[in-house]
Structure 1
Amino acid sequence: MRKAFLALLLAASVTPAMAQEKNFELKLSHWVPASHPLQKALEDWGSAVEKESGGTIKYKVFPAQQLGKAFDHYDMARDGIADVTYINPGYQPGRFPIIGAGELPFLMSDAKGGSMALDAWYRKYAEKEMKDVKFCLGFIHSPSTFHSRTKKIVVPDDVKGMKIRPAHATMANYVTLLGGTNVQSSAPEVRDIIERGVADAVTFPWGSVLLFGIDKVTKYHIEAPIYVTTFAFVMNKDKYNQMSDRQKKAIDNNCNTEAAGRVGGPWGDYENSGVAKIKALPDHEVYKLSPEQTALWKKASEPLIKTWADNVKKAGGDPDAAMTELRAELTKHNALAQ
């Protein structure tokens, strides 16, 4: 009798909307090690969605390219190989020209503010540029720099003749402008290509130099905020469309500008902490640039703005309006580099 009574109470507590809902287990995929801050960011994201969905949306995180290569993660979300993926748009040159604005050197100064600004700015453009997926949120890592094995890189001319693994398409163009040769690889492959002499240097954030073991194969590090990389979480559209209104709301509540700050901020802190750690290592030289040297780097990067603008025009966009809007968002979030 008591069991029957409890069963009636339980049934009464389930609303009609919940009774009609399907249960989902989302596959969340990324391509960095499970020890990377992105693992916890995706776990936190999944936990928040699970809680807001009343437990009807659960999740499992697949790190370290378990479901596919880093370069494939956008298409993996599009095709349903994974449900939510972490992407670097710059891994596919020319495919996402508008969000490439965030890659331009000497533009952003802060990971959390820059993430929120990028996300707020890009949302309307994502509807066209990433139309194959549901755009969840955009973010950046903290301003980053060159790390070299063979020699100090102090002025732009020092890049001439070097083999460098760039962070994304814009940094690849920068290396080419400076007379260097690009060596393409995903982040997990960087240590190997430097160790084998395939590359002499890399553009990388500080904490990740240690995480990926790149400190074992580099010696010289410029302490200057030269560039950032843009990233996004994207979701399979079909999976989202199968969900109830309440479940969609649980997703949407975690696919917004505030959530972008929650991802970018802690990751930025993690990367920034790497500066002191690398300085403390023996046989490593971390050095600042003089104002005159910094001016040379900024001057050398100016053609990249035109290249970005031309690519946006080819895609039917208005680069002047887009850049004005982005700079306004960066100013609003205290993340515009001076």
Structure 2
Amino acid sequence: MNMTRRTALASLGAALAAPAFVRRANAAEVTLKLHCMLPAPAPMNSVFFAQWISDIETASEGGIKIDLYPSMQLGGKPPQLADQVRQGICDITWTLPVYTPDRFPVAETLALPYMVTNAEKTSVVMHKLMDEFGQDEYRGTKTLAFHTHDGGKIHTREGLIQTADDLKGLKLRAPNQATGKMLENMGAETVFFPVTDMVVGLSNGVIDGCCLPYEVVPAFKLQELTKYTSAPAPAGRGLYANTFSLLMNERAYEGMPDDLRKAIDDHSGIGLSERIGKQFDAFEAKGKEVVVNNGNTIGEIAAEEIESWRELAAPVHDEWVQKLNDRGLDGAAILARANELLDAGQAS
């Protein structure tokens, strides 16, 4: 075989072995910074974002590169993430509206007690609710997705929670303002801080327990700091769920060529919200497995007990309707629509 033929075959082999996309000729390459509060091993980073980033890079034929910065590596605190993406400190972020209470009230609505079925269905509900009522909440950003986690559980260092009396005097990290008020109505002493501070709070005795879904437990090894988990009986709504927003800097999005914006558009929207929710249901199952394998005790809060807790949550819902009204929104309509969508999803 002559050298020219050998060289041509070698080049062909290299081309066939190359990745599915290559850097496109005559196209500007865009590098985006994705800022996340959770540590790198957390499934949101290691599973979801890893795949989503790969999907976008492939769809854009290498025109978009996304660099992930976990554990707040670009600086600041988790409550600052929504402002960071608006200001261009990062290009994409994933944030919790409840970390800046009352600032994004429509996005917070599904963080009220008993406004969750599972993560997949409730994430679709949240996206629809934001489309219908929350379009003005994230001005200056391109909204990519909205979602929730599965219903939260109560993790404690000593003893199961099976009645409201078991909560009296207990120091708990509340997951958000609204759920904290309900727990206080049952006699608990609540504090609120981001999940990233959970290890310190449990280790130094500031709190006796916390409200969290299973999915986040392994990332912070919380199964080693709590020994008991109390979960509502299945089939009804969950105790609570926090809400999340996946956001992109509007200038960064608008500054990209049409085909690169299309790669973002094709991997965002209600389909992505549903996909994240489904992923979080899978994360929940894996997190529970870690808790069980650690030998922790899991107990069920009876459905009748949960119904009595829901009565204590009614004033919290009423107060939220008034907050929405004070912002010029129709609070009753927003809450009614959320419940309608949740009930329809539960029946499907």
Amino acid at match of 1:315: R
Task: Show the counterpart of 2:266.
Answer: 253
Query: Aligned partners of 1:239 and 1:99: how far apart in 2?
Result: 23
The aligned runs of 1:151-162 (5 Å cut-off) are 151-162=159-170
Report if the CA contact (8 A) 1:127-1:135 is conserved: no
Query: Offset at 1:273?
Result: 3.0
CA distance in 1, matches of 2:182, 2:79: 21
Query: Which of 309, 313, 324 is residue 301 of structure 1 equivalent to?
Result: 313
Q: 2:330 aligns with which of 318, 321, 326?
A: 318
2:155 to 135, 141, 147: 147
| Structure 2 gap ranges (5+) | 1-7, 9-23, 233-237
1:281-292 correspondence runs (5 A): 281-282=294-295, 284-292=296-304
Structure 1 residue aligned with 2:21? none
Q: Root-mean-square deviation (CA), in Å?
A: 2.1
Matches within 5 A, 1:1-338: 21-39=27-45, 40-68=47-75, 69-224=77-232, 225-282=238-295, 284-334=296-346
Q: Secondary structure at the match of 1:146?
A: strand
- Structure 1: tracts of 5 or more residues without a match: 3-17
Distance 1:23 1:71 in 2: 31
CA contact (8 A) 2:161 2:301 kept: no
Query: How far apart are residue 152 of structure 1 and its match?
Result: 2.9
Question: 1:303 aligns to what SS in structure 2?
Answer: helix
- 1:22/1:123 Cα in 2 relative to 1: closer, same or farther (>3 Å)? farther
What do the CA deviations read for 1:58-107 (whole angstroms, capped 9, x no partner)? Answer: 11111111123212111110111110001010111111111222112222
The answer for the alignment partner of 1:5 in structure 2 is none
SS of aligned partner of 1:173: helix
TM-score, with length taken from structure 2: 0.85
Partner amino acid, structure 1, of 2:164: P
Partners of 1:87 and 1:285 in 2: CA distance: 31
TM-score where L is the length of structure 1: 0.87
CA contact (8 A) 1:28 1:42 kept: no
Kept after mapping to 2: 8 A contact 1:139/1:264: yes
Range moving further from structure 2, 33-42 or 71-80:
33-42
Answer whether contact 1:21 1:243 (CA < 8 A) is retained.
Answer: no
Q: Distance in 1 between matches of 2:151 and 2:88?
A: 32
Indicate the residue corresponding to 1:8 in structure 2: none
The answer to whether the Cα contact below 8 Å between 2:215 and 2:280 also exists between their aligned partners in 1 is no
Structure 2 CA distance, aligned partners of 1:164 and 1:85? 28
Residues 157 and 133 of structure 1: CA distance in aligned 2, closer, same or farther (over 3 Å): farther
Q: How many angstroms does 1:124 deviate by? A: 3.8
- The separation in 2 between residues aligned to 1:335 and 1:109, in whole angstroms, is 10
Cα distance in 1, alignment partners of residues 58 and 286 from structure 2: 31
Determine the C-alpha separation between the residues in 2 that align with 1:37 and 1:278: 16
SS at match of 1:127: coil
Q: Which amino acid aligns with 2:286?
A: S
Change (3 A) 1:20 1:179: farther
Question: Counterpart of 1:227 in 2: which secondary structure?
Answer: coil
Amino acid corresponding to residue 44 of structure 2 in structure 1: L
Structure-1 separation of matches of 2:329 and 2:218: 39
> Alignment length, in residue pairs?
319
Paired AA for residue 73 in structure 2: Q
* Residues 164-201 of structure 1: CA deviation (Å, up to 9, x unaligned): 11112222222333333322222122021111011111
Instruction: Write the distance in 1 (CA, Å) between the matches of 2:98 and 2:270.
Output: 21
The Cα of 1:128 is off from its aligned counterpart by 0.8
What is the percent sequence identity of the aligned residues? Answer: 26
Q: Following the alignment from structure 1 to structure 2, what is the Cα–Cα distance between the partners of residues 135 and 173?
A: 29
Q: Name the CA distance, whole Å, in 1 between partners of 2:347 and 2:279.
A: 15
Q: Which moved more, 1:108-117 or 1:85-94?
A: 108-117
